[in-house]
Amino acid sequence: MTQTLPKTLTFEEFVEWLPENTGTRYELHDGIIVEMSQPSGKHEKVTGFLAGEITVEYKRLKLPYFIPKTVLVKPPKKSSGYFPDIVLINDANLHNEELWEQ
């Protein structure tokens, strides 16, 4: 018996493939597309609370940060892409990110 391994994708291939406005969430885990479940109400409550607390702190410190609603994050040296619950972006460093505008 032979088993074929699923084709792994690069991050760039995943970005090209990623469907929009389907209501289904996908992430890329080590080159494999993974369908993600929708977060629960409890999860969203915790995420909202943490985002609020973080926002208050970076505003207080007058830092050039923001928390985007949805952003695909690629870890260095990995063929993965994640939609984190919360990510804090340094606006001053975005010019270094070539894929940001896409």
Long-range (24+ apart) CB contacts under 8 A made by 33-39 are 33/9, 36/83, 39/85
> Is 6 inside a domain boundary?
no
Q: Which domain holds residue 54?
A: 11-96
51 and 86 Cβ atoms separated by less than 8 Å: yes
Please check whether residue 3 lies inside any domain of the structure.
no
pLDDT tens across the length of the chain (102 residues) = 555 556 899 999 999 999 988 888 999 999 999 999 988 999 999 999 999 999 999 999 999 999 999 899 999 888 999 999 999 999 999 988 887 887
Q: For the chain, how many structural domains are there in total?
A: 1
- Non-local CB neighbours of 14 within 8 Å, separated by 6+ positions: 28, 33, 81
Q: Is residue 40 part of a domain?
A: yes
pTM score of the predicted model = 0.77
In-domain check, residue 18: yes
From 35, 33, 48, 32, select the one nearest 85 (Cα to Cα): 48
pLDDT at 7: 85
Q: What is the pLDDT of residue 5?
A: 58
SS3 of 68, please? coil
Whether the Cβ atoms of residue 34 and residue 26 lie closer than 8 Å to each other = yes
Give the 3-state secondary structure of residue 34: strand
Q: Which residues contact 78 (CB under 8 A, 6 or more apart)?
A: 30
- The answer to the question of residue 69 being in a domain is yes
Domain-embedded: residue 101: no
